[in-house]
Structure 1
Amino acid sequence: MRKSGQHDSGDAHAQGPWSFEFDKMQARVAAVRIHAHALAEELPTHQHRQGQLAMVLRGTVTCEVPGALWMAPLHGGFWIPGGVPHSLRVSPGGNVCFLFVEDAAAVMPPTCCALGISPLLRELILRLVVMAGDPQCEPRAQRLHAVLLDELVRMPTEALYLPVSEEPRLRRLLDALMRDPSDRTTAAQWASRLAMSERTLTRLVQLETGMSFGRWSQRLRLIVALQWLTSGLSVQQVANDLGYDSVSAFIAMFRKAMGQPPARYLAQRR
Protein backbone atom coordinates (compact mmCIF):
# COMPACT_ATOMS: atom_id res chain seq x y z
CA MET A 1 0.00 0.00 0.00
CA ARG A 2 1.40 3.39 -0.99
CA LYS A 3 0.86 7.01 -0.16
CA SER A 4 -1.46 9.01 -2.33
CA GLY A 5 0.13 10.00 -5.61
CA GLN A 6 2.43 6.97 -5.90
CA HIS A 7 1.94 4.20 -8.40
CA ASP A 8 3.05 0.66 -9.07
CA SER A 9 2.68 -1.88 -11.84
CA GLY A 10 -0.70 -3.05 -10.57
CA ASP A 11 0.38 -6.56 -9.55
CA ALA A 12 -1.12 -8.46 -6.64
CA HIS A 13 1.42 -7.27 -4.07
CA ALA A 14 1.18 -4.19 -1.91
CA GLN A 15 4.54 -2.48 -1.73
CA GLY A 16 6.19 -0.91 1.31
CA PRO A 17 6.13 -1.70 5.04
CA TRP A 18 2.58 -3.15 4.91
CA SER A 19 3.28 -5.59 2.07
CA PHE A 20 1.31 -8.82 2.05
CA GLU A 21 2.33 -11.58 -0.34
CA PHE A 22 -0.99 -13.03 -1.40
CA ASP A 23 0.49 -15.88 -3.44
CA LYS A 24 2.49 -17.12 -0.43
CA MET A 25 -0.47 -17.25 1.95
CA GLN A 26 -0.62 -20.79 3.33
CA ALA A 27 -3.34 -20.54 5.97
CA ARG A 28 -7.04 -20.48 5.11
CA VAL A 29 -7.30 -17.08 6.79
CA ALA A 30 -4.82 -14.25 7.33
CA ALA A 31 -5.10 -10.69 8.61
CA VAL A 32 -3.01 -7.54 8.33
CA ARG A 33 -3.48 -4.11 9.92
CA ILE A 34 -2.86 -0.80 8.14
CA HIS A 35 -2.17 2.51 9.86
CA ALA A 36 -2.36 5.59 7.63
CA HIS A 37 -0.58 8.67 8.92
CA ALA A 38 -0.92 12.29 7.77
CA LEU A 39 -1.41 11.29 4.14
CA ALA A 40 -3.91 8.89 2.62
CA GLU A 41 -2.60 5.42 1.85
CA GLU A 42 -3.47 3.98 -1.56
CA LEU A 43 -3.13 0.64 -3.28
CA PRO A 44 -3.69 0.87 -7.04
CA THR A 45 -5.88 -1.61 -8.91
CA HIS A 46 -4.87 -5.24 -8.28
CA GLN A 47 -6.49 -8.62 -7.66
CA HIS A 48 -5.80 -11.87 -5.83
CA ARG A 49 -7.40 -15.27 -5.49
CA GLN A 50 -8.45 -14.75 -1.87
CA GLY A 51 -11.59 -12.94 -0.85
CA GLN A 52 -10.92 -9.83 1.23
CA LEU A 53 -12.77 -8.15 4.07
CA ALA A 54 -11.88 -4.55 4.92
CA MET A 55 -12.76 -3.70 8.53
CA VAL A 56 -12.54 -0.06 9.58
CA LEU A 57 -11.27 0.77 13.08
CA ARG A 58 -10.69 4.48 12.54
CA GLY A 59 -11.29 6.75 9.56
CA THR A 60 -12.72 5.40 6.32
CA VAL A 61 -11.79 3.09 3.45
CA THR A 62 -12.82 3.55 -0.15
CA CYS A 63 -12.75 0.63 -2.56
CA GLU A 64 -13.33 0.90 -6.29
CA VAL A 65 -14.22 -2.17 -8.33
CA PRO A 66 -15.32 -2.25 -11.98
CA GLY A 67 -18.45 -0.09 -12.15
CA ALA A 68 -18.84 0.67 -8.44
CA LEU A 69 -17.40 2.63 -5.54
CA TRP A 70 -17.78 1.22 -2.03
CA MET A 71 -17.11 3.24 1.13
CA ALA A 72 -16.89 1.42 4.44
CA PRO A 73 -18.00 3.29 7.58
CA LEU A 74 -16.42 3.13 11.01
CA HIS A 75 -16.96 -0.29 12.69
CA GLY A 76 -18.27 -1.66 9.40
CA GLY A 77 -16.64 -3.23 6.40
CA PHE A 78 -17.06 -4.51 2.88
CA TRP A 79 -16.38 -7.81 1.18
CA ILE A 80 -14.45 -8.22 -2.09
CA PRO A 81 -14.65 -11.71 -3.63
CA GLY A 82 -11.46 -13.32 -4.89
CA GLY A 83 -10.41 -12.44 -8.41
CA VAL A 84 -12.18 -9.06 -8.49
CA PRO A 85 -9.90 -6.16 -9.59
CA HIS A 86 -10.02 -3.40 -7.00
CA SER A 87 -8.18 -0.37 -5.65
CA LEU A 88 -8.15 0.76 -2.03
CA ARG A 89 -7.73 4.08 -0.28
CA VAL A 90 -7.39 4.55 3.50
CA SER A 91 -8.18 8.07 4.73
CA PRO A 92 -5.48 10.09 6.54
CA GLY A 93 -5.16 8.83 10.10
CA GLY A 94 -7.14 5.71 9.20
CA ASN A 95 -6.74 2.38 10.96
CA VAL A 96 -7.94 -0.66 9.04
CA CYS A 97 -7.73 -4.44 9.21
CA PHE A 98 -7.78 -6.53 6.04
CA LEU A 99 -8.85 -10.14 6.38
CA PHE A 100 -7.95 -12.53 3.53
CA VAL A 101 -9.99 -15.71 3.15
CA GLU A 102 -9.34 -18.61 0.78
CA ASP A 103 -12.29 -19.31 -1.49
CA ALA A 104 -12.76 -22.86 -0.20
CA ALA A 105 -12.65 -21.82 3.46
CA ALA A 106 -16.12 -20.27 3.69
CA VAL A 107 -19.26 -19.67 1.63
CA MET A 108 -19.17 -15.91 1.18
CA PRO A 109 -21.17 -13.58 -1.11
CA PRO A 110 -20.11 -13.96 -4.77
CA THR A 111 -20.32 -10.19 -5.35
CA CYS A 112 -19.02 -7.13 -3.50
CA CYS A 113 -21.17 -5.99 -0.59
CA ALA A 114 -21.14 -3.96 2.60
CA LEU A 115 -20.81 -6.32 5.55
CA GLY A 116 -21.82 -5.92 9.17
CA ILE A 117 -19.07 -6.51 11.75
CA SER A 118 -20.11 -7.96 15.11
CA PRO A 119 -18.05 -7.18 18.24
CA LEU A 120 -17.00 -10.85 18.36
CA LEU A 121 -15.80 -10.87 14.73
CA ARG A 122 -13.93 -7.62 15.30
CA GLU A 123 -12.03 -9.05 18.27
CA LEU A 124 -11.28 -12.32 16.48
CA ILE A 125 -9.73 -10.45 13.53
CA LEU A 126 -7.68 -8.25 15.86
CA ARG A 127 -6.42 -11.32 17.70
CA LEU A 128 -5.44 -12.92 14.41
CA VAL A 129 -3.39 -9.82 13.54
CA VAL A 130 -1.49 -10.13 16.83
CA MET A 131 -0.76 -13.83 16.21
CA ALA A 132 0.49 -13.35 12.66
CA GLY A 133 4.00 -14.65 12.05
CA ASP A 134 4.41 -16.28 15.48
CA PRO A 135 4.96 -20.07 15.11
CA GLN A 136 4.16 -20.61 18.78
CA CYS A 137 0.66 -19.27 18.20
CA GLU A 138 -0.09 -21.60 15.29
CA PRO A 139 -2.23 -24.16 17.23
CA ARG A 140 -4.29 -21.35 18.77
CA ALA A 141 -4.56 -19.62 15.40
CA GLN A 142 -5.99 -22.77 13.80
CA ARG A 143 -8.70 -22.95 16.44
CA LEU A 144 -9.37 -19.24 16.07
CA HIS A 145 -9.79 -19.65 12.29
CA ALA A 146 -12.71 -22.01 12.76
CA VAL A 147 -14.57 -19.67 15.12
CA LEU A 148 -13.80 -16.63 12.96
CA LEU A 149 -15.10 -18.24 9.77
CA ASP A 150 -18.22 -19.45 11.54
CA GLU A 151 -18.94 -15.87 12.67
CA LEU A 152 -17.96 -14.30 9.34
CA VAL A 153 -20.53 -16.18 7.26
CA ARG A 154 -23.30 -15.00 9.61
CA MET A 155 -22.70 -11.28 9.09
CA PRO A 156 -25.51 -9.26 7.43
CA THR A 157 -24.90 -7.84 3.98
CA GLU A 158 -26.04 -4.63 2.31
CA ALA A 159 -25.78 -3.55 -1.34
CA LEU A 160 -25.08 0.11 -0.71
CA TYR A 161 -22.63 1.44 -3.29
CA LEU A 162 -22.18 4.18 -5.85
CA PRO A 163 -22.21 3.18 -9.55
CA VAL A 164 -19.19 4.74 -11.26
CA SER A 165 -17.90 5.05 -14.79
CA GLU A 166 -14.50 5.30 -16.44
CA GLU A 167 -15.85 7.86 -18.92
CA PRO A 168 -13.35 10.76 -18.50
CA ARG A 169 -15.94 13.53 -18.05
CA LEU A 170 -17.88 11.53 -15.48
CA ARG A 171 -14.65 10.77 -13.64
CA ARG A 172 -14.05 14.51 -13.35
CA LEU A 173 -17.55 14.91 -11.98
CA LEU A 174 -17.08 12.08 -9.47
CA ASP A 175 -13.69 13.36 -8.28
CA ALA A 176 -15.10 16.85 -7.75
CA LEU A 177 -18.10 15.63 -5.73
CA MET A 178 -15.92 13.32 -3.66
CA ARG A 179 -13.73 16.29 -2.76
CA ASP A 180 -16.79 18.40 -1.90
CA PRO A 181 -20.02 16.41 -1.48
CA SER A 182 -21.82 19.60 -0.41
CA ASP A 183 -21.44 21.00 -3.94
CA ARG A 184 -24.97 21.72 -5.22
CA THR A 185 -23.97 22.55 -8.79
CA THR A 186 -26.89 21.71 -11.09
CA ALA A 187 -26.78 19.32 -14.02
CA ALA A 188 -26.93 22.31 -16.39
CA GLN A 189 -23.95 23.94 -14.65
CA TRP A 190 -21.96 20.70 -14.67
CA ALA A 191 -22.72 20.25 -18.35
CA SER A 192 -21.30 23.70 -19.05
CA ARG A 193 -18.15 22.91 -17.06
CA LEU A 194 -17.72 19.63 -18.94
CA ALA A 195 -18.29 21.22 -22.36
CA MET A 196 -21.48 19.38 -23.25
CA SER A 197 -25.20 20.02 -23.27
CA GLU A 198 -27.35 19.26 -20.24
CA ARG A 199 -29.24 16.69 -22.27
CA THR A 200 -26.01 14.90 -23.21
CA LEU A 201 -24.83 14.87 -19.59
CA THR A 202 -28.08 13.49 -18.19
CA ARG A 203 -28.16 10.79 -20.87
CA LEU A 204 -24.52 9.90 -20.21
CA VAL A 205 -25.06 9.59 -16.45
CA GLN A 206 -28.13 7.40 -17.00
CA LEU A 207 -26.32 5.21 -19.53
CA GLU A 208 -23.16 4.76 -17.47
CA THR A 209 -24.63 4.42 -13.96
CA GLY A 210 -28.26 3.34 -14.47
CA MET A 211 -29.39 6.35 -12.44
CA SER A 212 -30.57 9.87 -13.11
CA PHE A 213 -28.16 12.67 -12.27
CA GLY A 214 -30.25 13.60 -9.22
CA ARG A 215 -30.45 10.05 -7.84
CA TRP A 216 -26.77 9.41 -8.48
CA SER A 217 -25.57 12.56 -6.70
CA GLN A 218 -27.98 11.87 -3.83
CA ARG A 219 -26.59 8.31 -3.48
CA LEU A 220 -23.08 9.74 -3.23
CA ARG A 221 -24.16 12.10 -0.45
CA LEU A 222 -25.99 9.29 1.35
CA ILE A 223 -22.89 7.09 1.42
CA VAL A 224 -20.74 9.98 2.61
CA ALA A 225 -23.37 10.75 5.27
CA LEU A 226 -23.22 7.17 6.53
CA GLN A 227 -19.46 7.41 6.84
CA TRP A 228 -19.62 10.66 8.77
CA LEU A 229 -22.47 9.57 11.05
CA THR A 230 -20.80 6.32 12.04
CA SER A 231 -17.58 8.23 12.65
CA GLY A 232 -19.34 10.20 15.39
CA LEU A 233 -20.55 13.40 13.69
CA SER A 234 -23.99 14.63 14.73
CA VAL A 235 -26.96 14.57 12.36
CA GLN A 236 -27.00 18.37 12.38
CA GLN A 237 -23.32 18.64 11.49
CA VAL A 238 -23.64 16.10 8.67
CA ALA A 239 -26.69 17.91 7.29
CA ASN A 240 -24.81 21.20 7.35
CA ASP A 241 -21.62 19.78 5.86
CA LEU A 242 -23.58 18.18 3.01
CA GLY A 243 -25.24 21.46 2.15
CA TYR A 244 -28.83 20.70 3.18
CA ASP A 245 -31.04 23.70 3.91
CA SER A 246 -32.24 22.12 7.15
CA VAL A 247 -31.72 19.08 9.34
CA SER A 248 -35.30 17.97 8.63
CA ALA A 249 -34.58 17.95 4.87
CA PHE A 250 -31.56 15.70 5.44
CA ILE A 251 -33.53 13.37 7.72
CA ALA A 252 -36.31 13.12 5.13
CA MET A 253 -33.78 12.15 2.44
CA PHE A 254 -32.18 9.58 4.73
CA ARG A 255 -35.53 8.08 5.77
CA LYS A 256 -36.64 7.75 2.14
CA ALA A 257 -33.39 6.03 1.14
CA MET A 258 -32.83 3.80 4.20
CA GLY A 259 -36.38 3.26 5.46
CA GLN A 260 -35.75 4.87 8.84
CA PRO A 261 -34.27 8.07 10.29
CA PRO A 262 -30.52 8.31 11.00
CA ALA A 263 -30.78 7.89 14.78
CA ARG A 264 -32.74 4.64 14.52
CA TYR A 265 -30.52 3.29 11.74
CA LEU A 266 -27.37 3.94 13.80
CA ALA A 267 -28.89 2.50 16.97
CA GLN A 268 -29.68 -0.76 15.19
CA ARG A 269 -26.17 -0.95 13.70
CA ARG A 270 -24.59 -0.45 17.11
Structure 2
Amino acid sequence: MRNIALDTVDATPRPVLAIGTDYRYGAQLPPHTHRRAQFLYGMTGLMEVETADGAWVVPPHAGVWIPAGARHAVRMVGVATRSLYIEPAAAPRPAAVCEVLTVSPLLHQLLLSAAELPALYDQAGREGALIGLILHELAAAPVLPVFAPLPPDPRLGALCREILRAPDIRIRPDDIARRLAMSPRSFTRFFRSQTGLSFGAWRRQACLMAALSRLAAGQAVTTVALDLGYDSPAAFSTMVRRLLGRPPSALAGNV
Protein backbone atom coordinates (compact mmCIF):
# COMPACT_ATOMS: atom_id res chain seq x y z
CA MET A 1 0.00 0.00 0.00
CA ARG A 2 1.37 3.42 -0.93
CA ASN A 3 0.50 6.92 0.26
CA ILE A 4 -2.71 6.04 2.07
CA ALA A 5 -3.86 7.13 5.53
CA LEU A 6 -3.53 4.56 8.29
CA ASP A 7 -7.03 5.24 9.60
CA THR A 8 -8.51 3.97 6.33
CA VAL A 9 -7.10 0.47 6.94
CA ASP A 10 -6.40 0.34 10.68
CA ALA A 11 -9.39 -1.92 11.38
CA THR A 12 -8.20 -4.52 8.84
CA PRO A 13 -8.01 -7.92 10.61
CA ARG A 14 -4.28 -8.42 10.04
CA PRO A 15 -1.52 -8.29 12.69
CA VAL A 16 0.72 -6.10 10.51
CA LEU A 17 -0.05 -3.42 7.93
CA ALA A 18 2.70 -2.09 5.65
CA ILE A 19 2.40 1.41 4.13
CA GLY A 20 4.88 3.32 1.98
CA THR A 21 4.72 7.14 2.13
CA ASP A 22 6.63 9.87 0.31
CA TYR A 23 7.16 13.10 2.27
CA ARG A 24 8.20 16.54 1.05
CA TYR A 25 11.55 17.81 2.33
CA GLY A 26 11.21 19.20 5.85
CA ALA A 27 7.70 17.82 6.40
CA GLN A 28 6.70 17.82 10.06
CA LEU A 29 4.22 15.44 11.64
CA PRO A 30 2.75 17.05 14.78
CA PRO A 31 2.53 15.05 18.02
CA HIS A 32 0.22 12.06 17.54
CA THR A 33 -0.32 8.45 18.62
CA HIS A 34 -1.20 5.15 16.95
CA ARG A 35 -3.29 2.33 18.33
CA ARG A 36 -0.78 -0.07 16.79
CA ALA A 37 2.96 -0.14 17.38
CA GLN A 38 4.93 1.32 14.49
CA PHE A 39 8.26 0.64 12.85
CA LEU A 40 9.09 3.75 10.83
CA TYR A 41 11.84 3.20 8.26
CA GLY A 42 13.26 6.00 6.14
CA MET A 43 14.61 4.48 2.92
CA THR A 44 16.25 7.80 2.14
CA GLY A 45 17.04 10.89 4.15
CA LEU A 46 16.86 11.38 7.87
CA MET A 47 14.15 11.60 10.53
CA GLU A 48 14.09 13.54 13.80
CA VAL A 49 11.73 12.05 16.38
CA GLU A 50 10.70 13.50 19.75
CA THR A 51 8.58 11.95 22.49
CA ALA A 52 8.02 12.75 26.15
CA ASP A 53 10.92 10.36 26.89
CA GLY A 54 13.51 11.99 24.68
CA ALA A 55 14.76 12.84 21.21
CA TRP A 56 16.10 10.54 18.50
CA VAL A 57 17.75 11.09 15.14
CA VAL A 58 17.18 8.27 12.68
CA PRO A 59 19.88 8.12 9.98
CA PRO A 60 19.63 6.29 6.65
CA HIS A 61 19.65 2.48 6.91
CA ALA A 62 17.93 2.71 10.29
CA GLY A 63 14.35 2.87 11.54
CA VAL A 64 12.58 3.82 14.74
CA TRP A 65 10.49 1.45 16.82
CA ILE A 66 7.49 3.31 18.33
CA PRO A 67 5.45 1.35 20.91
CA ALA A 68 1.66 1.37 20.68
CA GLY A 69 0.19 4.53 22.15
CA ALA A 70 3.51 6.40 22.38
CA ARG A 71 2.98 10.07 21.56
CA HIS A 72 5.57 11.25 19.04
CA ALA A 73 6.38 14.02 16.58
CA VAL A 74 8.54 13.54 13.49
CA ARG A 75 10.43 15.87 11.15
CA MET A 76 11.29 14.41 7.75
CA VAL A 77 14.45 15.49 5.90
CA GLY A 78 14.14 14.13 2.37
CA VAL A 79 12.42 10.93 3.45
CA ALA A 80 10.47 8.20 1.70
CA THR A 81 9.22 5.82 4.40
CA ARG A 82 8.17 2.22 4.64
CA SER A 83 6.13 1.84 7.83
CA LEU A 84 4.82 -1.21 9.61
CA TYR A 85 1.82 -0.87 11.92
CA ILE A 86 1.70 -3.82 14.28
CA GLU A 87 -1.06 -4.96 16.60
CA PRO A 88 0.21 -4.71 20.22
CA ALA A 89 -0.25 -8.45 20.76
CA ALA A 90 2.06 -9.17 17.79
CA ALA A 91 4.76 -6.63 18.72
CA PRO A 92 8.19 -8.29 18.39
CA ARG A 93 9.99 -5.91 20.77
CA PRO A 94 9.26 -5.50 24.51
CA ALA A 95 10.61 -1.93 24.79
CA ALA A 96 8.18 0.58 26.29
CA VAL A 97 10.10 3.49 24.75
CA CYS A 98 11.22 4.28 21.22
CA GLU A 99 14.39 2.67 19.85
CA VAL A 100 16.44 3.38 16.74
CA LEU A 101 17.20 0.05 15.04
CA THR A 102 19.71 -0.90 12.39
CA VAL A 103 18.03 -2.09 9.18
CA SER A 104 19.99 -4.96 7.64
CA PRO A 105 20.06 -5.48 3.86
CA LEU A 106 17.62 -8.39 4.32
CA LEU A 107 15.19 -6.33 6.40
CA HIS A 108 15.43 -3.50 3.85
CA GLN A 109 14.34 -5.80 1.03
CA LEU A 110 11.58 -7.30 3.15
CA LEU A 111 10.21 -3.84 3.96
CA LEU A 112 10.21 -2.91 0.27
CA SER A 113 8.28 -6.07 -0.56
CA ALA A 114 5.83 -5.60 2.31
CA ALA A 115 4.79 -2.17 1.02
CA GLU A 116 3.42 -3.86 -2.09
CA LEU A 117 1.08 -6.11 -0.10
CA PRO A 118 -2.66 -5.40 0.05
CA ALA A 119 -4.25 -4.73 3.42
CA LEU A 120 -5.96 -8.14 3.32
CA TYR A 121 -2.88 -10.16 2.43
CA ASP A 122 -2.97 -13.95 2.46
CA GLN A 123 -1.82 -14.95 5.94
CA ALA A 124 -1.52 -18.63 5.05
CA GLY A 125 0.73 -18.19 2.00
CA ARG A 126 3.86 -16.35 0.90
CA GLU A 127 2.56 -12.97 2.08
CA GLY A 128 2.00 -14.20 5.61
CA ALA A 129 5.45 -15.83 5.63
CA LEU A 130 6.98 -12.51 4.50
CA ILE A 131 5.34 -10.68 7.40
CA GLY A 132 6.45 -13.39 9.84
CA LEU A 133 10.07 -13.07 8.70
CA ILE A 134 9.92 -9.29 9.09
CA LEU A 135 8.78 -9.69 12.70
CA HIS A 136 11.69 -12.06 13.38
CA GLU A 137 14.16 -9.59 11.83
CA LEU A 138 12.74 -6.70 13.88
CA ALA A 139 13.10 -8.71 17.06
CA ALA A 140 16.79 -9.32 16.29
CA ALA A 141 17.68 -5.82 15.03
CA PRO A 142 20.44 -4.09 17.04
CA VAL A 143 19.81 -0.71 18.68
CA LEU A 144 21.73 2.37 17.51
CA PRO A 145 22.92 4.82 20.22
CA VAL A 146 21.33 8.01 18.82
CA PHE A 147 19.08 8.96 21.71
CA ALA A 148 19.09 11.81 24.22
CA PRO A 149 16.60 11.19 27.04
CA LEU A 150 14.63 14.23 28.20
CA PRO A 151 14.41 14.65 31.98
CA PRO A 152 10.93 14.92 33.55
CA ASP A 153 11.97 17.88 35.73
CA PRO A 154 10.51 20.97 33.96
CA ARG A 155 13.50 23.29 34.50
CA LEU A 156 16.12 20.73 33.55
CA GLY A 157 13.98 19.55 30.65
CA ALA A 158 13.77 23.10 29.28
CA LEU A 159 17.55 23.46 29.51
CA CYS A 160 18.08 20.13 27.75
CA ARG A 161 15.77 21.15 24.91
CA GLU A 162 17.74 24.39 24.65
CA ILE A 163 20.96 22.40 24.30
CA LEU A 164 19.39 20.09 21.69
CA ARG A 165 18.59 23.16 19.58
CA ALA A 166 22.23 24.35 19.74
CA PRO A 167 24.50 21.57 21.06
CA ASP A 168 28.15 22.26 21.79
CA ILE A 169 30.64 19.76 23.19
CA ARG A 170 32.18 22.60 25.24
CA ILE A 171 29.05 23.19 27.37
CA ARG A 172 30.20 22.64 30.94
CA PRO A 173 28.09 20.89 33.56
CA ASP A 174 29.12 23.59 36.06
CA ASP A 175 27.41 26.19 33.85
CA ILE A 176 24.16 24.21 33.81
CA ALA A 177 24.40 23.59 37.55
CA ARG A 178 24.75 27.34 38.12
CA ARG A 179 21.64 28.07 36.06
CA LEU A 180 19.72 25.60 38.24
CA ALA A 181 21.20 27.10 41.43
CA MET A 182 22.76 23.74 42.31
CA SER A 183 26.23 22.69 43.36
CA PRO A 184 28.20 20.75 40.73
CA ARG A 185 28.04 17.58 42.83
CA SER A 186 24.27 17.86 43.37
CA PHE A 187 23.75 18.56 39.68
CA THR A 188 25.78 15.49 38.67
CA ARG A 189 23.64 13.23 40.84
CA PHE A 190 20.41 14.96 39.80
CA PHE A 191 21.16 14.77 36.08
CA ARG A 192 21.95 11.06 36.20
CA SER A 193 18.81 10.34 38.24
CA GLN A 194 16.72 12.22 35.67
CA THR A 195 18.22 10.79 32.46
CA GLY A 196 20.21 7.67 33.36
CA LEU A 197 23.31 9.26 31.79
CA SER A 198 26.12 11.48 32.94
CA PHE A 199 25.90 15.02 31.58
CA GLY A 200 28.99 14.40 29.45
CA ALA A 201 27.47 11.32 27.81
CA TRP A 202 24.16 13.13 27.24
CA ARG A 203 25.95 16.14 25.72
CA ARG A 204 27.86 13.79 23.39
CA GLN A 205 24.57 12.22 22.26
CA ALA A 206 23.10 15.67 21.58
CA CYS A 207 26.13 16.56 19.45
CA LEU A 208 25.95 13.25 17.59
CA MET A 209 22.29 13.77 16.70
CA ALA A 210 22.94 17.31 15.47
CA ALA A 211 25.90 16.05 13.46
CA LEU A 212 23.80 13.40 11.71
CA SER A 213 21.20 15.99 10.71
CA ARG A 214 23.79 18.41 9.38
CA LEU A 215 25.85 15.80 7.56
CA ALA A 216 22.71 14.42 5.92
CA ALA A 217 21.87 17.96 4.76
CA GLY A 218 25.24 18.12 2.99
CA GLN A 219 27.36 20.19 5.39
CA ALA A 220 31.09 19.50 5.33
CA VAL A 221 32.58 17.34 8.07
CA THR A 222 35.01 20.09 9.10
CA THR A 223 32.22 22.67 9.33
CA VAL A 224 30.05 20.38 11.46
CA ALA A 225 32.95 19.46 13.76
CA LEU A 226 33.94 23.07 14.44
CA ASP A 227 30.34 24.27 14.82
CA LEU A 228 29.81 21.63 17.52
CA GLY A 229 32.88 22.82 19.40
CA TYR A 230 35.32 20.01 18.67
CA ASP A 231 38.98 20.98 18.65
CA SER A 232 39.55 19.28 15.31
CA PRO A 233 37.73 17.23 12.66
CA ALA A 234 39.84 14.26 13.81
CA ALA A 235 38.45 14.42 17.36
CA PHE A 236 34.92 14.67 15.97
CA SER A 237 35.50 11.73 13.62
CA THR A 238 36.79 9.61 16.50
CA MET A 239 33.57 10.26 18.45
CA VAL A 240 31.31 9.38 15.52
CA ARG A 241 33.25 6.24 14.64
CA ARG A 242 33.24 5.05 18.27
CA LEU A 243 29.46 5.49 18.64
CA LEU A 244 28.27 4.45 15.18
CA GLY A 245 31.08 2.31 13.81
CA ARG A 246 31.35 4.54 10.72
CA PRO A 247 33.30 7.74 9.98
CA PRO A 248 31.37 10.99 9.38
CA SER A 249 32.30 10.89 5.70
CA ALA A 250 30.18 7.73 5.34
CA LEU A 251 27.14 9.62 6.65
CA ALA A 252 27.48 12.84 4.66
CA GLY A 253 24.95 13.77 2.01
CA ASN A 254 22.61 10.81 2.58
CA VAL A 255 19.43 12.78 1.85
TM bucket by the smaller chain?
0.7 to 0.9
User: How many residues get paired?
Assistant: 242
Match for residue 80 of structure 1?
A: 66
Q: Which residue of 1 aligns with 2:13?
A: 26
Answer 1 or 2: higher relative contact order, Cα 8 Å, separation at least 6: 2
- 1:56-135 equivalence runs, <5 A: 56-83=42-69, 85-105=70-90, 108-111=92-95, 112-132=98-118
Question: Is 2:13 the partner of 1:37?
Answer: no
Residue number among 243, 246, 250 corresponding to 2:236 in the alignment: 250
Residue 178 of structure 1: aligned partner: 164
Q: Secondary structure at the match of 1:63?
A: strand
Write the distance in 2 (CA, Å) between the matches of 1:234 and 1:169: 34
SS at 1:42's partner residue?
strand
Counterpart pick for 2:204 among 218, 239, 242:
218
- 1:102 and 1:60, CA in 2 relative to 1: closer, same or farther beyond 3 A? same
For residues 42-79 of structure 1, the C-alpha deviation after alignment (integer angstroms, 9 at most, x for no partner) is: 2414242x331110123322334453433211121122
Which string of whole-angstrom CA distances, capped at 9 and with x for unpartnered residues, describes residues 30-51 of structure 1?
A: 1223443354412414242x33
Q: 1:146 aligns with which of 129, 133, 149?
A: 129
Q: Check the 8 A contact 2:48/2:75 in 1, yes or no.
A: yes
Look up the equivalent residue of 1:153 and give its one-letter code: H
Q: How does the TM-score come out when normalised to structure 2?
A: 0.74
Contiguous gaps of at least 5 residues in structure 2: none
Matched position secondary structure for 2:6: coil
* Bigger shift: residues 235-244 or 245-254: 235-244
CA distance in 2, matches of 1:45, 1:53: 15
CA contact (8 A) 1:73 1:231 kept: no
Asked if structure 1 preserves the Cα contact closer than 8 Å seen for 2:169 and 2:204, the reply is no
- C-alpha contact (below 8 Å) 1:60/1:74 kept by paired residues: yes
Which residue of 1 is the match for residue 142 of structure 2?
157
For residues 92 and 159 of structure 1, the distance between their equivalents in structure 2, rounded to whole angstroms, comes to 19
Query: Do residues 196 (structure 1) and 181 (structure 2) align?
Result: yes
Structure 2 counterpart SS, 1:78 = strand
Supply the AA of the counterpart residue of 1:158: V
Cα deviation 1:194-242 (Å, max 9, x = unaligned): 4534535444322201222222111222344355557776644542343
Task: Kindly indicate whether residue 41 of structure 2 is the aligned counterpart of residue 55 of structure 1.
Answer: yes
Selected match of 1:207 from 162, 183, 193: 193
> 1:262 matched to which residue of 2?
247
TM-score of the aligned structures, taking structure 1 as reference length: 0.71
Question: CA 1:210–1:94 in structure 2 vs 1: closer, same or farther (change >3 Å)?
Answer: same
Cα distance in structure 2, aligned partners of 1:117 and 1:164 = 25
Q: Is the 8 A contact 1:252 1:261 kept in 2?
A: no
Identity %: 30
Gaps of 5+ in 1: 1-16
Partner secondary structure for residue 153 of structure 1: helix
Q: Describe the superposition over 1:161-194 as per-residue Cα deviations: whole angstroms up to 9, x where unpaired.
A: 22222322222223222222247433333445x4
Quote how far apart the aligned CAs of 1:29 are: 1.7
Segment drifting more, 94-103 vs 33-42: 33-42
8 Å contact from structure 1 (residues 52, 80) kept in 2: yes
Contact 1:128 1:141 (8 Å CA) reproduced: no
SS of the residue 1:33 aligns to? strand
Match of 2:24, as an amino acid? H
For 1:87, the aligned partner's letter is: H
